[in-house]
Structure 1
Amino acid sequence: MHNWLLPEYIEDVLPAEAARLESYRRQLLDLFRVHGYQYVMPPMMEYVESLLTGTGHDLDIATFKVVDQLTGRLMGLRADTTPQAARIDAHMLNHAGVSRLCYAGTVLRTKPDGLARTREPLQLGAELYGHAGIASDIEVQRLMVKALQLLGMQTLFVDLSHAAIFASLSHTAQLGLPQEQALQAALQAKDISLVEQLVVNLPEKSRQAFIALAQLNGGIEVLDQAREVLPDSEEIEQALLELEAVAKALGDRNVTVTIDLSELRGYHYHSGIVFAAYAKGYAGPIALGGRYDEVGAAFGRARPATGFSLDLRGALLALGPATMDKGILAPATQDADLVALIETLRAQGQVVVEALPDAQVDYSELACDRLLQKVDGRWQVVAV
């Protein structure tokens, strides 16, 4: 066995790609900052109770777990930063009003996930706490759109759904938990034949509603279709009104909005609007988010909450291979004029690499394409 081999789906990020990731990480955090989102840095490891409470089975199986040698308690390496942000809002900040938090850091997952197919995504996200109205859903989704446009994605598609619709239908049909879970999975997979099998013994009205839900996807006109085929209920009508408001708010941002009422990702985690962003050149969602009003209850303080996150490594895949910014090589000398010029160039943001005495010079390895050279008695930058 080679000692230098890394585990599967775990990899080093080399200089060119690391530089690009860090550049965009800074730009995105600056974007979040000017919108009032405050940066937090939760720990990589916590007790599993705080990482997983209220998040559902999917996050549990995605989380690496270890035993704490100090206490003997089970700890987890975070697979998602959102529950940690909810804990910080509920238990550490304890604000009475609205809190806006953002984060950027590595998460670890037991299996490869996302566009980058890695077990170590670089997750960035923004979360808004303390407001239950549709205005906060719109704010978060507009911020997501701005973030993706900053990454160069000008043709965006946002897919919307709402957890309350399936919840209302399940409650009316009095589904048991196993049947509800099976039906949710079938709807998520768009397996209409399986949906029909699972609802065959339900009352006619409920049976037709679940079958209709599996087919309610398309443009914003789907909302009117839903009003025609789904049962009249206050919860469903409110959900459709919220989806309509968000769709109109995003439509003025050069975003194509689609509706998919059978999209039930994270159903036991989300409590309202659920959304995913797509772009040309990507086979899957680039950013995911939604409303999750109940998660804070696990930390003793349920707060309305909505947010989104993205894997920056996956989001940059379509940009192609990264290239290093080329620098300037300075000769190994302590000439006062040269030293002053080097500092001036660096203050301007230029990369200047100082040669070391008796060291071999390879311009490609040093990522330099220019040289500081004395011309007519003055130090100047010249092409190699």
Structure 2
Amino acid sequence: MSNWLLPESLADVLPAEARRIEELRRYLLDLYRTYGFELVAPPLAEYLESLQAVSGSKLNLRTTKVVDQLSGRTMGIRADITPQVARIDAHLLNRNTVTRLCYCGSVLHARPEGLLSDRELLQIGAEIFGYAGVEADIEIIHLALASVAKVGVKNPRLDLNLPAIGHAIIQMDPLLVPYTDTIFDLLSAKDIPGLRALQSSIPNSQEQSIQALLILCSLYGEANQVIAKARQVLPTSASITHALDQLQSLVDSLDIPALTVDLADMGGSSSYHTGVVFCVYADGWHDALVRGGRYDGVGKLYGRDRPATGFSMDLRKLSAGLAEAKPVRAIRAPWGTDAALQDTLKRLRESGEIVIQMLPDQSPVADEFLIDRELVCEQGQWQVRTIA
């Protein structure tokens, strides 16, 4: 095997794409600052006990393990930044007020999530801690939609769900409870044969509960219609009614045209969500572009029980679905060290121009830049001239 061949599902990012990803990062972090979010930067690796404090999370299986050469303890390379930000809020900042935090950094998955997924993501997100009301969920959802609009995503679609409905159905049959994670995966994939096969593998499981789970797979579409139908076809219980009331209240509070509900979508890749979850979809991406939701109680694992809600997205995935990055305009300048030329180069660059000073015998070819002007000396003055 060639020594330069990268591991499976890992890839280099080349100049034009890397530049656009960095621009997206700047645009979004600047946007979050205008909403009052403070930037934090957790470490790439932590002791495994800290990263896996989110008990039962699928993130445990996605975490790559390494040995710390200083302490001999096992460390994990983060697979999700959200729990780290919850740790910062609960353990380091230790505030009693509402805290808004944002972040951007690389994460590594031990295995790709799907056939078209990468193992390395550039995750960016925003989180609100310390407020349990629906107003925080509304702000986070609006910010998620503002994020994709900021970078030029056309006609995004917001999809909502409340996994408490699925939990309530599972709780109706104690035999199903140990299989909650598996059931949620099957529901999210709308894998009806998989649900029936699971029923066959659990003797004495209640037919009513399995049928209710199968019904969830068909409950998706326009928000108000889906909620109304769910009230008619799902089992009657106080917990299911309460969850549907919560979901209806959030729908009524959101003035968003393309708003749908999918009662089988249990939050995608994360298992720590405790309240409403949402996804943003758009043409050009095969999967959800943004995932988020409420995850109250995660901070308790780090010392303080704080309500929390937020979202995240992968900038590499976001960039891949946008129009191809175009070269940027640049100025070509000759090689030279005289003061007049150097002063002109400095002035142009400080004004925001890209000026490439050609080394002796250098070819002006560069995929990242469109060299449409040149710096020439006319009558003792350096001038920018358009290249014919």
Same fold (TM over 0.5): yes
**Residues 1:189 and 1:363: Cα distance change in structure 2 (over 3 Å):** same
Counterparts of 2:174 and 2:253 in 1: how far apart (Å)? 35
CA contact (8 A) 2:277 2:294 kept: yes
Q: How does 1:317-356 map to 2 (within 5 A)?
A: 317-356=320-359
**Residues 1:214 and 1:116: Cα distance change in structure 2 (over 3 Å):** closer
Aligned to 1:364: 365
Q: How does 1:175-190 map to 2 (within 5 A)?
A: 175-190=175-190
CA contact (8 A) 1:50 1:83 kept: no
Query: 1:241 and 2:245 equivalent?
Result: yes
Query: 1:261 and 2:263 equivalent?
Result: yes
Q: How does 1:78-89 map to 2 (within 5 A)?
A: 78-89=78-89
Counterparts of 1:112 and 1:176 in 2: how far apart (Å)? 28
Counterparts of 1:372 and 1:275 in 2: how far apart (Å)? 52
What residue identity is the alignment partner of 2:373?
R
Alpha-carbon RMSD across the aligned residues, in angstroms, is 2.4
- Comparing 141-150 with 238-247, greater Cα deviation is found at 238-247
Q: Normalized against structure 1, the TM-score is what?
A: 0.91
Q: Secondary structure at the match of 1:365?
A: coil
Q: How does 1:1-384 map to 2 (within 5 A)?
A: 1-54=1-54, 56-113=56-113, 117-196=117-196, 198=198, 201-203=204-206, 206-220=209-223, 221-252=225-256, 255-264=257-266, 265=268, 268-356=271-359, 359-365=360-366, 367=369, 368-384=371-387
Q: Normalized against structure 2, the TM-score is what?
A: 0.90
Structure 1 residue 245: deviation in Å? 3.4
CA contact (8 A) 1:36 1:100 kept: yes
Counterparts of 1:36 and 1:362 in 2: how far apart (Å)? 47
- Comparing 205-214 with 56-65, greater Cα deviation is found at 205-214
Aligned-pair identity in percent equals 44
Counterparts of 1:12 and 1:182 in 2: how far apart (Å)? 34
What residue identity is the alignment partner of 1:364?
V
CA contact (8 A) 1:374 1:380 kept: yes
**Residues 1:342 and 1:114: Cα distance change in structure 2 (over 3 Å):** farther
Q: Secondary structure at the match of 1:309?
A: strand
**Residues 1:352 and 1:377: Cα distance change in structure 2 (over 3 Å):** same
Structure 1 residue 15: deviation in Å? 2.0
Counterparts of 1:205 and 1:261 in 2: how far apart (Å)? 17
Q: Secondary structure at the match of 1:168?
A: helix
Structure 1 residue 34: deviation in Å? 0.7
CA contact (8 A) 1:277 1:286 kept: yes
Structure 1 residue 67: deviation in Å? 1.2
Structure 1 residue 162: deviation in Å? 0.7
Structure 1 residue 55: deviation in Å? 5.4
Counterparts of 1:266 and 1:365 in 2: how far apart (Å)? 40
What residue identity is the alignment partner of 2:162?
H
Q: Secondary structure at the match of 1:16?
A: helix
**Residues 1:176 and 1:103: Cα distance change in structure 2 (over 3 Å):** same
Counterparts of 1:157 and 1:202 in 2: how far apart (Å)? 37
Structure 1 residue 169: deviation in Å? 2.0
**Residues 1:211 and 1:354: Cα distance change in structure 2 (over 3 Å):** closer
Give unpaired runs (5+ residues) of structure 1: none
Aligned residues: 380
